[in-house]
Amino acid sequence: MSPHDLTWPHKTAGRRRFAREREILSALEHPNIARLYDAGVDAAGRPYMAIEYVEGLTPNAYCDSAGLGVTESLRLLLQVADAVAYAHSRLVLHRDLKPANILVNGQGQVRLIDFGIAKLMEGGQAAETAPTRAAGRALTLDYASPEQIRGEAIGTASDVYSLGVVAFELLAGVKPYKLKRGSAAELEEAITAQDLPLRSAAAQAPATARQLRGDIDAIVNRALKKNPAERYPTVDAMAHDLRRHLEGGRVQARPDTLAYRARRLLRRYRLPLGAGLVVVTAFALALGTGATALVIGVLLLGLGAALWQARKAREQARRAQQESRRAQAVQDFVFGLFRANADSRPDPQRALATTAREPLDIGAARVLKELDQTPEVKDAMLSTLSELYIDVGGLNDEAAALSAERVALRRALYGANDLGVAVALVDQANAIDSSNDSQRSLPLLRTARQIVDRAPTSGTDVRLRVLFAQAQATSYTEVSASLGFIQGATALMQRRGTGGDSLRRALYVEGLNLGFLGEHSAGLQRLEQAQRLSLGSTGPQAQWQIPECTAIYSNASAIGDFGRAESALLHALQMSRRVNGPDHVDTKHVLLRLMRLYAWTSRAAESQAIEVQLRTLLDVPAPQRDANLDSILLRTMSVHALENGRFGDAALLAVPMVESYRRFTGDSLVLAMAMQTRARTSAATAALDEAERELAQASEMLDRALGSRQAPSGLATIRMDQAVVRLWAGDAAGALALLDRLAESLPVAMADARLKVPAIACWRAAALLDTGRAAEAVEAAVLGLRSMSFFLRPADLPLLRADLLLEQGLALHAADQSDPARDVLAAALTLRQQNDDDRSIWRAMVELALARTVLAQGDREQARTLAASGRARASDVPMLAPHLARRLQRVEGESADLR
């Protein structure tokens, strides 16, 4: 035995711990988790890890040094909770949450460190393993859960408990267990058996104790239950309660009594509810019940909130008098509005059945004419009515017109640089942008941004509204700018500790934009962060999971992670069917994506069944179809038909598809993608000049839309299309030059380029073969197949595999290697038979190529059968691009004597 074969047991255990931590950390990418930059073994055989250096303090020390109160401390805890929840979503338990493993930097950002004893979960639990037993219990007793102390299997509830101990100590200033002897045995006994004091009772400062009573006591108490089943089931659930407390809402840890809900409601909305109550009471006495319930309810609540906000802005000395006049004016206006509506009808009872639009129109006309003497009331009414025009009737033009009146009114009341003017400008821009006219909305938003930038106070809430609106207005036309706006909003919310729905929306938009730019891995991370914030939502918020899941599908499938993509789509389909029903437009959106996914994962029958179901939507007259669904339906069906070799179908769908996108979005990123699809169809059917023109327009549109931050993989598809059009036009050398430059910009190992590499290799092989370089064509095809085998599952992308095998087989035949050519082409034909359409020109190409190779080996009977089948399929194809036509003529001509 060599001395080098000897290793001390503690070194072996240390290396196992190192390897485990490296494996776990490499899978975790989150802004609140310290990043793993590199890992390996040095020349002396010693393992090393390069982890993000975090210069910071523990949460306790940071809060003490910064003088932070309970609210700020809770926001730090929420950052920790988000990081732990992310790790749990990757099936990773931390198992050693404590202040020493949580650092806060100078900007107030948390970094969670030391996953050295973290465990990968199976079925939601992690059992004790040999390394843990060999090294002893690698945990910190003060923060360990009872089940850890007892050596039982642990799950996410164990990290919930440890986070509860961290919260107790951070908020109360002391550890939860008071010990006499201070021994480890006494601490273990306390953790497993001793009842805990309330945080408020343990707090040193009376003011802190008052803040901790109630919700915080209940939240931390639930996290620290001895029985894991009685704790929060997930860290996300605990974080949700903390956020609800910060927002003044009801927390799940408190008993759901009427008295408790009433206290929370009054605390959260005490001023607007008071104002609203006055109006509701007066209205009910004057009119009784009737009119449109939705309009009345929303209108009155909006008026109450508007009165409250306006009252805060008035001088103290004039407040009472102004509010009295305003409340009376609102009461008179609302009473008069609906009384006029009832009096104008022969049968007053019929007024109860009035449409929502009618009282809105009456109200808008009266607001513009009658409320000049009470401008604050007019402002409130304009705001509420404009919102109702959108929410009740989808009447964006009417809403935008009222918002414009409100902008002018606020400028007259408060001056051009008041933050209230910026808010009104955002409302006007949002109404316009909902009608897809960003050229009108963007100047309004720039003005709003200038007001916010000049504001003497921070105006953080208004700034967030402006950034969100700018991101939305530019999401399809200036993606780099949109990303900058939303990342600015995200950073601002993280500095404030803002979470919940606002952060979820920001992460969703950021993930979409990153995907548009070709940064699919980063986009996927943001989208899954957003999804974690949505899980468990109910009511209207739950529907946000549907677009989040479809966006996750888009980014996951772009990097070849089809399992992840399918999981997201199935969740979205279940959610949409439950919330919206089987015939809803959102359900059909999800089904379209499932159709494509099934085709990509060798489930042709399932894909075809969905296609048959959704093609019936095209029988509905175009004006009656949903504009967004119509565009996506036409594009998806066109791409699907082209990939399946049904050129005639693809060409019929491509023209209305582009026009549908042009009407729906105008010049934009998605219109450029639609033009790419039509260009591919045009080129395949020999309309080469048209294809070149469409690709040039699409390329210019993409350059404008993607801006300065376009990743190489973001433009790879259109560059590839340009090369393919040249190849199909007969310019193989020009196509090869484009493909070579594109291949150099996309490293094989780059996750965002995984699917681009085999596709580029396929077209390179075709171009090399056309230029007489058969041996190099074989190498290119083999490279593409190897890259697919390395990154994808065997069943993924069967048609791309078939294309690569066809190119390899054609190149082998040209190099007089008929035996391997036959095997390769036979494999290509099997894939086409299993996954392709019966009318496919691509299947015809494979059959004729295999017939030629089989004939060269002397098997005339099989060659004749294959050739006849290929000719029959090819006869139904319309005009073909020169490259494709020559290929068919060549392989058919060499087997002509089989007719």
At 562 the pLDDT is: 95
Distance CA 684, CA 639 (A): 12
At 83 the pLDDT is: 85
For 36, 132, 345, 848, the CA distances from 14, given in Å and listed in that order, are 18, 11, 86, 61
Contact (CB, 8 A) for 12 and 126: no
At 499 the pLDDT is: 67
Which of 442, 425, 449 lies closest to 476 in space, CA to CA? 442
If the chain, 899 residues long, is cut into consecutive pieces of 10 residues, what is the mean pLDDT of each piece?
37 48 60 69 60 81 82 87 80 81 85 63 45 43 80 81 87 68 54 55 53 77 84 83 77 53 45 44 43 48 47 45 49 47 43 56 74 72 75 72 85 85 88 66 89 74 88 88 90 75 87 90 90 68 82 93 94 89 90 95 94 87 75 90 88 89 83 91 88 91 80 77 90 93 74 84 95 95 91 93 96 93 96 91 91 88 88 76 78 63
Spatial CB neighbours of 72, under 8 Å, sequence gap ≥ 6:
63, 66, 497
At 832 the pLDDT is: 94
Tally of residues, the chain: 899
Q: Among residues 96, 649, 721, 836, which one is catalytic?
A: 96
Helix (H, G, I), strand (E, B) or coil at 234: coil
Neighbour-count burial of 116, counting CB atoms closer than 10 A to its CB (0-12 exposed, 13-18 middle, 19+ buried)? middle
Helix axes 70-89, 59-66, angle to 10 degrees: 150
Which of 792, 804, 704, 716 lies closest to 762 in space, CA to CA? 804
DSSP 8-state symbol, 116: T
Is 391 a catalytic site residue?
Answer: no
The owner of tokens 């909003």 is 489
> What phi-psi label fits residue 144: left (phi over 0), alpha (psi between -120 and 50 degrees) or beta?
beta
Helix (H, G, I), strand (E, B) or coil at 204: coil
DSSP 48-98: EEEE-----B-HHHHHHHHT--HHHHHHHHHHHHHHHHHHHHTTEE-----
Which of 656, 873, 690, 883 lies closest to 769 in space, CA to CA? 883
The owner of tokens 């051009």 is 416
Distance CA 439, CA 112 (A): 44
Long-range contacts of 721-724 (CB under 8 A, 24+ apart): 721/676, 721/679, 721/680, 721/695, 722/695, 723/763, 723/767, 724/680, 724/683, 724/763
Structure token pair of residue 631 = 């565009």
Contact (CB, 8 A) for 58 and 102: yes
Distance CA 417, CA 806 (A): 67
Which of 834, 816, 829, 832 lies closest to 862 in space, CA to CA? 829
At 19 the pLDDT is: 53
Write phi, then psi, for 208 (nearest 5 degrees). -65, -40
Spatial CB neighbours of 869, under 8 Å, sequence gap ≥ 6:
844, 847
- Per residue in 766-785, pLDDT (tens digit) is 999 999 999 999 999 999 99
- Per residue in 722-762, pLDDT (tens digit) is 999 999 888 999 999 999 998 887 765 567 778 888 999 99
For residues 179, 183, 184, 189, the Cα torsion angle rounded to the nearest 10 degrees is -50
- Exposure of 106 in the CB half-sphere (CA atoms within 13 A): 1
Distance CA 151, CA 128 (A): 8
Distance CA 463, CA 451 (A): 9
Distance CA 366, CA 333 (A): 9
At 11 the pLDDT is: 40
Type and span of the H or E element at 38: strand 36-41
At 5 the pLDDT is: 40
CA 519 from centroid of its chain's CA atoms: 13
Which of 811, 804, 809 lies closest to 775 in space, CA to CA? 811
Contact (CB, 8 A) for 556 and 564: yes
Write phi, then psi, for 92 (nearest 5 degrees). -120, 125
Helix (H, G, I), strand (E, B) or coil at 103: strand
Which of 899, 806, 898 lies closest to 855 in space, CA to CA? 898
Which residue type does 764 have?
A: R
Helix (H, G, I), strand (E, B) or coil at 145: coil
Spatial CB neighbours of 565, under 8 Å, sequence gap ≥ 6:
552, 553, 554, 556, 557, 597
